[in-house]
Chain A
């Protein structure tokens, strides 16, 4: 079941899952729905190829700045280098010095050599936006895929376990506390009705519950048809009107969806920590821009 109220009451949502499971689509659709209810939403991604703005008909690249792309919806594409620059320039007030010393290549090398530094800065940036700037009611991070995401969130503990001390470390501690607060932050995990994806999803949810400070609040099985049993029987009734290859293909697909749903459900129940399981429907090929009608059908409101 999906506790939509719980999701919309949070301040910061991370949307993750294996590649291709629908993280971007869900992030955008949920943002659009919440914005329509009057909330000020910030959509966040961190990528070399921006995808979110396109779903709102916004063709231009946005980069590392908050830009309004629709009513009540702003978007930003965070990168490590600019998060670091903001920290040094704004936080430390050393903008001029930064410009003199850190050119692009140096920053890149610096961040490369200091593992996790850029990631810590990025998470700090998110924390600031949510807690200290208070410009938005909801921040949705269309996060990287599971492996990368787990690494990103794990950098906080790395710093805390490293023996480093000082104000930066104290800040990391505050950021972790914020992220670990189940009333403020949550992870939504996307999955698909494919055996390999289901297995990996279960593996990762369990792993993330140990390694990631943010609570996993929801798993979605995406691209699954509703009324599977009904569809299977309707298919049999229609089978003389449909070519055998198509019928057999659809039958296999629907059966696979049933099996996947069962496997995921059972697997999640076996986990030490409870996670809700919700379902999102197959929507076919998506048009370029999200419409209110699409959002209603997809989120089933």
Chain B
């Protein structure tokens, strides 16, 4: 476990200066585990930390003893009495999220009731594109506004395009500019309710055409659904603007979580460029599952062996070590080129942590600290 080339406590000092930390990266690289670890580390240093996580496998929530939902719960570590930190966490769940958004943003209880009763809503609510992201961002803004936390750590869903998550407030703005509702849905809805035979606007004609193939009843149902949901979506719009501003603030940091393999390299570099184009930048990189330094060093002393199977494994290890070194140099250089600053590089060794248990998670978190 080591933090390469960084002065002692650089990571913690950095975290103390920030209010929001957004963790980005592809699936399968340890993003959720790292988010939790950073949150625990910061809390152990005296910060009041809020953690918002999205764990599709539900295992880490279970390990930390948090139930699923959007209410923040205190996380304690009874086996580590020296931990005096304040850590609260919430584990967002897709299913529960949209329902709470409806309750919160629908214009009144009757409207909310109508939405819940809408059959289309019941069928598709699990798939509502971006629900969990919207909720997460709304929650983050709430947490920042509450002044209850020195640092908010935001995990992001693994399977979305990471950047769509950040772009959410913008996407919502497009919708709310009444283009879809104003041009397409509302006129069509009105026309079909009036039993209008002639559809006048281009939008109406298109919707009419679509209605022919999808079935007029279908499109009517859909348009009703969208009109019901409009209030909910536009309700979010208000906090969406503020979230956009929080994301752009200098007290917000972005960390890239990745592993040092070949295929990762391309994805990580791509993410870094795209993030930069959006006006943000990576402040740090957490590279998980690194080849332990002592193994890497020892490899250099190896001679060729006659035993083929063993030699093959040694060759693979050497290739991997080289590939990892290249990756680390490249990602560090690339980010420095974009941002003008050296990113914090946190290298976590490949280790067995029993992350399904609280003790294991705590141990992993403490490994981020280079005392």
Contact = CB atoms under 8 A, between A and B. Distances in A.
A and B are interacting partners: yes
A168 B124 contact: no
Interface string B6-17: 000000000000
Nearest to A256: B352
Contacts of A286: 262
B184 A19 contact: no
Interface string B214-242: 11111001100010010001000000000
Nearest to B209: A94
A133 interface: no
Contacts of A169: 214-215, 218
Contact of A243 (B229, B301, B322): B301
Interface of B: 26-29, 56-57, 59, 119-120, 122-130, 158-161, 163, 171, 174-175, 179-180, 183-184, 202-203, 205-206, 209-210, 212-218, 221-222, 226, 229, 233, 259, 261-264, 266-267, 270, 292, 294-295, 297-299, 301-303, 305, 307, 309-310, 313-317, 319-320, 322-323, 352, 355-356
A187 B226 CA distance: 34
B206 A115 contact: no
Interface residues of A, number: 73
27 contacts: A19-B26, A51-B263, A88-B206, A91-B213, A92-B212, A94-B210, A101-B183, A105-B174, A109-B171, A112-B129, A113-B226, A116-B124, A145-B158, A147-B27, A151-B126, A164-B222, A165-B218, A166-B216, A166-B217, A167-B215, A168-B213, A195-B352, A199-B59, A238-B305, A243-B298, A249-B295, A249-B317
A234 B309 contact: yes
Interface of B, helix, strand, loop or mixed by DSSP: helix
Contact of B175 (A100, A102, A112): A112
Interface of A: 18-21, 24, 48-49, 51, 88, 91-92, 94, 97-98, 100-102, 105-106, 108-116, 119, 144-145, 147-148, 151, 154-155, 158-159, 161-169, 195-197, 199-200, 203, 225, 227, 230-231, 234-235, 237-238, 241-246, 249-250, 282, 284-286
A100 B206 CA distance: 9
A243 B302 contact: yes
B127 A158 contact: yes
Contacts of B229: 113
Nearest to A144: B159
Given A19-B29, A234-B310, A100 B202 contact: yes
Given A105-B179, A148-B159, A165-B215, A285 B319 contact: yes
